[in-house]
Structure 1
Amino acid sequence: MELRGLHHISIITENARANFDFYTKVLGLRLVKKTVNQDDPYTYHLYYADEIGNPGTTVTFFEIPRANRGKKGYNSIARMGLRVPNDAALAYWEERLTMFHVKHEGVYEQFDRKVLDFEDVDGLAIQLMSDQRDKGVAGGKPWSESPVPVEFAILGLGPVLFSTLKKEKTDRVLTKVLGFDRVGAYEDDERLVTVFQVGEGGNGAEVQLEANFKDPHAVEGIGSVHHVAFRVADDAELQEWIQYIQDLGYPNSGFVDRHYFHSFYFREENGILIELATDGPGFQTDFEKEHGTYVELPPDLEGRRAEIEAHLTDLNSDV
């Protein structure tokens, strides 16, 4: 059993329309799937990715308008990473973020690669990372109709930052349970951040881990990451992972059918929610039909389509 890298990341947003505008019109990602939160079908679950939603390129959002705002702190996924092709792309993004009045920092070097930090409309911390020196897991294929030129476009997910109070516990889960290797470390704001990679390695297969003694416990809400998912080859391997992690005694979901992939959730010892998800079957739909107009519903909700669509915000899909 070997994880293949990052699969997707899921985040809480307050407003689907503002979220859609930011991730498609500013960041240039494609809305590859528009469905609903199965716990509250009057709100969206939005999937943004590359041209066809390849594993490792997907950012998903649960729309929860009445949620409290999230609070940054320990025992959380404190930052999402996104990959761009090279250092020149970061210079483009610095100008683009300025043009759209997005709060951001300047380009700087971190762990022998160029990065650029900014925040989305809900205050989520995001780091753009250059793939110029990357030799690991391949990125995705940018959407040709994106407002961002292909040569500068986001290629997929980059490293996620885990911020924990008891760093050694999460370190043990990453290395002893999930099979990550420690590949180095760097200092950030007087905190030592350890870098882990799995499978082929590289920016698309990386988790960063810091011990956070300065901040209070994180509070989940608007602008916070709900969970991160790692890639598993197929259902057979997923079943092996399920049995293995259940035998270790971790609180878990058991097998879950997410239609576009099959998965399994568990909480590591600091409480961070981790999902293991299969590469297939994938987002196999008519993208032209779906883009901005079609709401994908699971079979048990299809009979309520008219009722559900009447409660959903209209999204302008012309990007």
Structure 2
Amino acid sequence: MHKDIATPIRTKEIMKKYGFSFKKSLGQNFLIDPNILRNITDYAGLTKKTAVIEIGPGIGALTEHLARTSGKVLAFEIDQRLLPILADTLSPYNNVTIVNEDVLKSDVQSMIEKELGGYEEIMVVANLPYYVTTPIILKLLTEGLPIKGICVMLQKEVGDRIAAKPGTKEYGSLSIAIQYYTQAETVMIVPKTVFMPQPNVDSAVIRLTKRAEPAARVDDEEFFFKVTRSSFAQRRKTILNNLTSQLPDGKQKKDEITASLERAGVDPGRRGETLSIQEFAHLSNELLPHFQ
């Protein structure tokens, strides 16, 4: 058994050895508590039959736990300075492939085919850089990748929004976009003290389990997401006012919007945060013919 990377002493040793300094622009915060890493891999439900995609491995603290518990790890690291460090810290493990690419620009599907072929089950497990959390999760879900789920650490406040239920102040278009594809739950709150450097906010680990079918039937996904985003444009406004001001030619089509709301059984005086995903789906299907 190798000494864990995720301890303050070992992290400092590695950084000193390579003269590494944190880049604020890349949102680098390294975990220095092995117990939390073990918990993350437990929540992700990994076995040797699982392949893992990791984003932002840093110096390999979580990667080594993933390598120990899963069949294979494919990690995307944008920061070139970390490649020699990872080659060193992960040298005991022969089931890790590091790709020096920005996951947002990468063709993840073809990387999966190339590196993870033969694995039935693929999980995304990562301590995500805070500044790109949402675009990364949405990319992984909207590209229809063959993944079973996502178990990631992110800013607690973003986690709250992702897992929020209708009628709460955290619930919004992000909650809907992610819950449309997955079942979302917060499995763990992580204090800021277990990171180096210490971020300003606490973190959370959220687990997203991909649904076999989306949460609701919509006739046009792009339009459905446009309707949900428009409905939350100004949270204090009613859904009718938001849709009228946000949809193309909405002001001219106020009567059509009102009629669509009524057909969908949604009171025009309600606010976006009170509607379930199913209600939004029903509403966007009613609105669609007027905005094609």
TM-score of the aligned structures, taking structure 1 as reference length: 0.29
Larger Rg: 2
More helix by share: 2
Q: Which has the higher contact order (CA 8 A, sep 6+)?
A: 1
More strand by share: 1
